[in-house]
Amino acid sequence: MKMTCNNEEYIVIKFKNTNNYQVAVEWTDAIYYNGVWSTGSNTKKVYVPANSESTGSCSGEIKLKVNINSIVNLPSGSGHYSTMGLTVSQ
């Protein structure tokens, strides 16, 4: 989901865990624009408790919030976000 935080455009991410145990979620941020995928430089990891969700927000977990221009300089409203190399483990 896109949102504006302090006049900057961000993508916020939500992971939902429907298991009865905690899971670790790892991924790399990626933006698709002009036929090319550009990825962030770091793999991110969050732990999602059993039967709950972790959701990004302007003031929440920094790993669940992506400043689009930190990956690639885009005109506002352009490009598509995805997680690359997404893995979920117990």
What are the residue ranges spanned by the domains of the chain? 2-89
Q: What is the pLDDT of residue 34?
A: 81
- Rounded CA-CA distance 70/73 in Å is 7
Predicted structure pTM score = 0.80
Query: Is 62 strand, coil or helix?
Result: helix
Q: pLDDT for 7-44, tens place per residue?
A: 888 888 999 999 999 999 999 988 888 888 888 888 99
pLDDT band at 74 (very low <50, low <70, confident <90, very high): low
Architecture of domain 2-89: Sandwich (2.60)
